Structure 1
Amino acid sequence: MCGIVGAFWKNRPHDAERLLGDALDCLKLRGPNDRGAEFESSGSGALAFGHTRLSVIDLSDAGHQPMRSADGRYAIIFNGEIYNYRELRAELQSGGEEFVSASDTEVLLRAWIVWGEACLPRLDGMFAFAVHDRQTNRLTCCRDAFGIKPFFYVAEDDAFLFGSTHPAMVALRGAPPRPNWQRCYDYLVHGDYDSNDETFIADVRHLPPAHLIEFDMGSCSVTRLAKWWSPSFVQRGEHSLASATEAVREAFLGSIRRQLRSDVQIGAALSGGIDSSAVVCAMRRVEPMAEINTFSYIASGTPLNEEKWVDLVNSHVDARPHKIEANEEDLLRDLDDLLIAQGEPFGSTSIYAQYCVFRLAREKGVTVTLDGQGADEMLAGYSGYPGYRLLSLLETSGVGAAHRFAREWASWPSRSYRLGLMELGRVALPDGLYAAARKRIGRDFQPDWLDIEAFEAHGVHFQEARPPRSKAARGRRVAEQLTKSLQERGLPALLRHADRNSMRFSVESRVPFLTIELAELLLALPEEYLISPTGESKSVFRAAMRGIVPDAILDRRDKVGFATPEQQWLTAIAPQLRATLSRDAELVPLLKAARLVAAFDAVIEGRQPFSWQVWRWFNFARWYVTTGVQA
């Protein structure tokens, strides 16, 4: 796991070495074990490659980057891990390729040389990398199928810049960042972020999941932006439930087995829910004698406390447990560090619980953790995507079938028949009716604490981006939405949180659910295998884990995860938050500070219902000020 940064300048700046050095300084926590930088000049301009390394596989100097091919034609910088590197290495060796290291970086470089971009779907891993081909004078940058590893870029008339973090990009550009007004609006009003290729900083873009971008240095232009893999919602195969259960079990255990490959100590993040418990129990299944360290956030004294489930799993696999608790005073102390680590605004204080877990792993000397992230978006978790499932049933089986499902689904905790119908409305209502319904319940698309005229001047669209529905997905609305959750709104934000939190403490976070093999298997199954007729979410996976995970975990009917008592915390520290918000909001030209503080007071004093909006107000204003954004 590493940090990468690079630039092509048509006219090399006089301080190029300083700019690259400053950018690499921003990546030191992503790669504390090694650092490399190279410049190469040609008639078309100057190319800079920089890399910081967190050593995980092949700890020797042979894994140093930038890495060049033996003939000098290709150079690569790579952030991530290729878990099936041993299998790929053996295949390449059988074709005559020779290796000088045991690193997965060299395997990736040789795979690119031999197979080109056709190697990408064959990679089981998480990655963001750039390859320079001297012969074609071309730079190719690629990102993994789910966007687990970050890749930001800026394409200008006379330069192409890229890197692993926002601060590195800002340092490389050598100029204060400017806000992306549309993304700021989307976050503040709709809680939407990391759902497309735009970031909170103007001109800085994400390379989307499963994409590559080609840059021609001769013409100083992007010549291609292409998607190399797309998940499909089409039902395929004739799996019985029994055969599907077996296939899911084998695919998941295979992923766990490959992701346990490491030359440093491995642990697991354990919340006590089905997903993280399955990861820990599967680790024991494939490595019966291994030492397993687990790391858990405990919300003692609150309804969110998962400790009894954490203890059950640890006892079941004979793990060495490590637990951490936190309160509002801890949050207040760590707030700025958390915000700086994330780089952009985010959704809720639950991200702080994850931050604490990764800090604990680092304190205990563990460099790699396995995590259950992505299971919900592959298996229709959370509350079971009820709106989409109801729409599928209406399109295929009629009102009666939808009514029967809604009634069964409503029998689970924290659900109701009315809530199911509301979810259906959220999915199926036309945009105009949806906006009217939102306003009726107090969620105005143009709140008075925003400077609406300023947003209008910057061309902002005052609407919520709702995913379109395809006619081809009739009867497959859950599967269709899962494909969007995996690569658009949903999982990308969660992966960003985990990547930034783990890298803050130089920990590599692996996500064994997120493989192309498992995604293609699950998304091709009948929807009732994912959400049973009784409303059970992750149904086929629960069945697949029988005999591996304790039944008490698999039979859970609630979902908590690393959640924090947000309302309790924010209310307790409201005076401190209000003081900071009052000061910071005055410095943010996008906001009307007095009205924003009045809205904050109304919520804290109980005159308005509590919502995540409180956190978004504070998070956004603090981010804007601490990162030096200038409108």
Structure 2
Amino acid sequence: MCGIFASVGFAPERERISIVAHRGPDGEGWETRSSPAGPVALGHRRLAIIDTSEAGRQPFSDPSGRFLLTYNGEIYNYRELREELIALGDSFRTHTDTEVLLAAWRRWGEHALQRLVGMFAFVIWDDKEKQLFAVRDRFGIKPLYWVEGQGGVAFASEIKQLLDLPGGERRMNLPRVHDFLVGGISNHTAETMYAGIRQLRGGEWAVVDAQDSARVRITVRRWHDMRRASVPSMSSDEAAETFRELMEQSIRLHLRADVPVGACLSGGLDSSAIVGLMSRILPEEHQGLHTVSACFTDKSVDEKPYMDAVVSATDATPHFVFPKPEDVIDHANLITWHQDEPFASTSIIAQWCVFAEAQRTGIKVMLDGQGSDEILAGYHFCYPYHLAHLVRQIRLGAFLSTIMARRREQGRAVASQFAQVAFALAPRALSDVMFKVHSERLKHRWLDTDVLNAIGRQPSPLRTAAESLGLPSPTDVASLCDVMTYASNLPMLLQWEDRNSMAHSIEARVPFLDHRIVEFALGLEAEHKLAGAETKKVLRQALADVLPPAVRDRRDKLGFATPESNWLKGPLRPLIEDGVAKTLETCPGLLNGTGVRRMLDDFLKGRDALGSTLWRIVNLGIWADRFRITVA
């Protein structure tokens, strides 16, 4: 895991890579070339994970000197690819996956991408053709931003590396800021919250043609096919067996490293399953299994009993951190700088504390459970789509039994379930009206300003996310999983994870996002994901023997939750009150001050549960202040 930078046409500035030294404390590299369109620069900050010797230093050149690579990520099947390339006549001077990646590109070009199992963002300069290729992995696990301005184009691991380049403005991209404030969503389109700064989406690549002295030309294409794989109908046992085989294969690959490997453990199904499988496989690769967890004294969000059950079952060495309200005060500004954009929840701070503890423990690679909820419909908000699909299929028996199971096991009121299903069944025009009415009720007209009214009426963030990739708006579990995986939830979670882990010079790996697992899971029928009140059925069945019963049979869902509402009303009340005032001052004209203050008063007096919305307002102000972002 590393930090990269590349530019064509712009004057080379080495500080563009130095600013992300936290992503790679093990070395810095910088090389320049020339082209008809102007200077070419490639920079790299190294976090040494595989072949930690100086042989892995980047930017990395092939023996001919034609190709130059700067690369962030891991190619987990590099050993197999290396043997294949050797059989074809290639030779290698290092044991790095970097050299394998460049050799694969040299031999197969863009067709090499389909052979890669891993997470990656890389840039390759072809000195012969005077072209630069920038590539991002299938699901956007590793970041890659870009900006195009007068005279050039640049790519980088973090947005801050692109600021103040031509086109890299310190100005709000108002539609994306609106989506964040209304729905708490970000990273769901090719745009960022900065005007002019974009990202390659997961599964995309860009070609920069520098052969013309008059201009640099960039073309963005998609290399990964998002069409749902065809998975044959199968029994529960068959689905579980296949899922188990894929998971074991993925864990083995994700344990390839020449440094200590540990795991994030939340006590939920996903992280517990990973730790359980690691405990079976790790003795072949490493000595000992270390886990890091965030715990809370507030029992409403504390999952330590489940963590303890996993630790006991796996004989892991646990490390616990107890995030406090003071951590929010102490770290919010720094975390916002690392995240580059405002973040929607204080749960990010809990994750920050986990990676900070992993760094103190000396663990350099951490496996995490991101992705499972998206590919297997693990969120409770997936149920309305599932129930609506049952209604469309006229499967009323299954519909009613699911409604009653959720009332019995999840405490979901029947009336509220019917209301949610009605929303999911509504035609698009009606759902747009319902969304507008719902958002108006919540916001106390706090977004009713000339600045935001000027961008026009915005669709729901979920619809924006789907349309940004040409995906249909969700109507059932299958289409919802597609959107969550490629466009909405997962890209946002991966951004937070990347920044929090890299801030502590730790490589975070996500075994559920082996593309073979994702393709299989997305192609499964809904019955393998949701059964009554049981979520992620195929996972529970496939890994029943490695999950403690207390974890396997859970029906609640928390994730990296914090006691946010209690914190904001209690010890963090001054932060929220001062933060709201600061945001209104820092972002003049963006928000309706009267409406924001009314919302704050309602929250503090217990009349409305708007703590997460208020946090977004406060964090938006922290971001605007830290990065000197203007409204217009």
Q: What whole-Å deviation, never above 9, does each CA across 1:196-254 have from its counterpart, x for those lacking one?
A: 11100001001001111111112444453221123444653243221211110010011
Deviation at 1:460, TM superposition (A): 4.2
Deviation at 1:176, TM superposition (A): 5.4
Counterpart AA for 2:460: E
Structure 1 counterpart of 2:163, from 145, 157, 170: 170
> How many residues were matched structurally?
622
Task: Report what 2:178 is aligned to.
Answer: 185
Task: Report what 1:542 is aligned to.
Answer: 540
Counterpart AA for 2:540: R
Q: More displaced, 189-198 or 593-602?
A: 593-602
Structure 1 counterpart of 2:450, from 449, 453, 456: 453
Give the direction of change, closer, same or farther, for the CA distance of 1:411–1:227 in structure 2 (3 Å limit). Answer: farther
* Corresponding residue SS for 2:50: coil
Give the direction of change, closer, same or farther, for the CA distance of 1:23–1:471 in structure 2 (3 Å limit). Answer: closer
Confirm or deny: 8 A CA contact 1:438 1:444 kept in the other structure.
no
* Corresponding residue SS for 1:130: strand
Deviation at 1:42, TM superposition (A): 2.7
* Corresponding residue SS for 1:311: helix
For normalisation by structure 2, the TM-score amounts to 0.93
Question: For the residues of structure 2 that align with 1:238 and 1:430, how far apart are their CA atoms?
Answer: 30
Deviation at 1:72, TM superposition (A): 0.9
Task: Report what 1:203 is aligned to.
Answer: 196
Q: What whole-Å deviation, never above 9, does each CA across 1:597-626 have from its counterpart, x for those lacking one?
A: 343233223343334111111011111111
Q: More displaced, 40-49 or 225-234?
A: 225-234
Question: For the residues of structure 2 that align with 1:599 and 1:622, how far apart are their CA atoms?
Answer: 19
Deviation at 1:471, TM superposition (A): 14
Counterpart AA for 1:629: I
Give the direction of change, closer, same or farther, for the CA distance of 1:231–1:471 in structure 2 (3 Å limit). Answer: closer
Task: Report what 2:591 is aligned to.
Answer: 591
* Corresponding residue SS for 2:49: coil
Q: What whole-Å deviation, never above 9, does each CA across 1:175-207 have from its counterpart, x for those lacking one?
A: 751110111111112322111111000010010
1:433 aligns with 2:426: no
Q: More displaced, 435-444 or 354-363?
A: 435-444
1:294 aligns with 2:291: yes
* Corresponding residue SS for 1:257: helix
Q: How does 1:197-276 map to 2 (within 5 A)?
A: 197-219=190-212, 220-233=215-228, 235-276=230-271
Give the direction of change, closer, same or farther, for the CA distance of 1:448–1:405 in structure 2 (3 Å limit). Answer: closer
Structure 2 counterpart of 1:354, from 348, 351, 356: 351
Give the direction of change, closer, same or farther, for the CA distance of 1:180–1:174 in structure 2 (3 Å limit). Answer: closer
Confirm or deny: 8 A CA contact 1:82 1:126 kept in the other structure.
yes
Counterpart AA for 2:601: D
Structure 2 counterpart of 1:85, from 75, 78, 91: 78
Q: Which runs of 5+ in 1 are unaligned?
A: none
Q: How does 1:327-346 map to 2 (within 5 A)?
A: 327-346=324-343
Q: More displaced, 71-80 or 598-607?
A: 598-607
Moved over 6 A (4+): 468-476
Task: Report what 1:462 is aligned to.
Answer: 458
Confirm or deny: 8 A CA contact 1:394 1:401 kept in the other structure.
no
Deviation at 1:585, TM superposition (A): 1.9
Give the direction of change, closer, same or farther, for the CA distance of 1:405–1:472 in structure 2 (3 Å limit). Answer: farther
Question: For the residues of structure 2 that align with 1:476 and 1:234, how far apart are their CA atoms?
Answer: 18
Task: Report what 1:629 is aligned to.
Answer: 629
Q: Which runs of 5+ in 2 are unaligned?
A: none
Question: For the residues of structure 1 that align with 2:393 and 2:539, how far apart are their CA atoms?
Answer: 25
1:503 aligns with 2:502: yes
Task: Report what 2:484 is aligned to.
Answer: 485
Question: For the residues of structure 2 that align with 1:363 and 1:272, how far apart are their CA atoms?
Answer: 21
Give the direction of change, closer, same or farther, for the CA distance of 1:471–1:7 in structure 2 (3 Å limit). Answer: closer
Confirm or deny: 8 A CA contact 1:232 1:524 kept in the other structure.
no
* Corresponding residue SS for 2:16: helix
> Taking every aligned residue pair, what percent have the same amino acid on both sides?
36
Confirm or deny: 8 A CA contact 1:99 1:106 kept in the other structure.
yes
Q: How does 1:60-75 map to 2 (within 5 A)?
A: 60-75=53-68
Give the direction of change, closer, same or farther, for the CA distance of 1:132–1:460 in structure 2 (3 Å limit). Answer: farther
Q: State the Cα RMSD in Å.
A: 2.4
Deviation at 1:549, TM superposition (A): 1.9
Question: For the residues of structure 2 that align with 1:41 and 1:233, how far apart are their CA atoms?
Answer: 42
Task: Report what 1:313 is aligned to.
Answer: 310
Task: Report what 1:563 is aligned to.
Answer: 561
Confirm or deny: 8 A CA contact 2:171 2:195 kept in the other structure.
yes
* Corresponding residue SS for 2:334: helix
Question: For the residues of structure 2 that align with 1:628 and 1:462, how far apart are their CA atoms?
Answer: 26
Confirm or deny: 8 A CA contact 2:338 2:500 kept in the other structure.
yes
Confirm or deny: 8 A CA contact 2:76 2:256 kept in the other structure.
yes
Give the direction of change, closer, same or farther, for the CA distance of 1:419–1:471 in structure 2 (3 Å limit). Answer: farther
Confirm or deny: 8 A CA contact 1:393 1:475 kept in the other structure.
no
Structure 2 counterpart of 1:413, from 407, 410, 413: 410
Question: For the residues of structure 2 that align with 1:465 and 1:218, how far apart are their CA atoms?
Answer: 39
Counterpart AA for 2:235: S
Question: For the residues of structure 2 that align with 1:316 and 1:61, how far apart are their CA atoms?
Answer: 40
* Corresponding residue SS for 2:23: coil
Question: For the residues of structure 1 that align with 2:37 and 2:217, how far apart are their CA atoms?
Answer: 14
Q: How does 1:340-419 map to 2 (within 5 A)?
A: 340-383=337-380, 385-419=382-416
Give the direction of change, closer, same or farther, for the CA distance of 1:361–1:413 in structure 2 (3 Å limit). Answer: same
Deviation at 1:47, TM superposition (A): 0.6
* Corresponding residue SS for 1:303: coil
Give the direction of change, closer, same or farther, for the CA distance of 1:424–1:221 in structure 2 (3 Å limit). Answer: farther
Confirm or deny: 8 A CA contact 1:128 1:141 kept in the other structure.
yes
Task: Report what 1:552 is aligned to.
Answer: 550
Confirm or deny: 8 A CA contact 1:268 1:280 kept in the other structure.
yes
Deviation at 1:442, TM superposition (A): 5.9
Task: Report what 2:27 is aligned to.
Answer: 34
Confirm or deny: 8 A CA contact 2:188 2:488 kept in the other structure.
yes
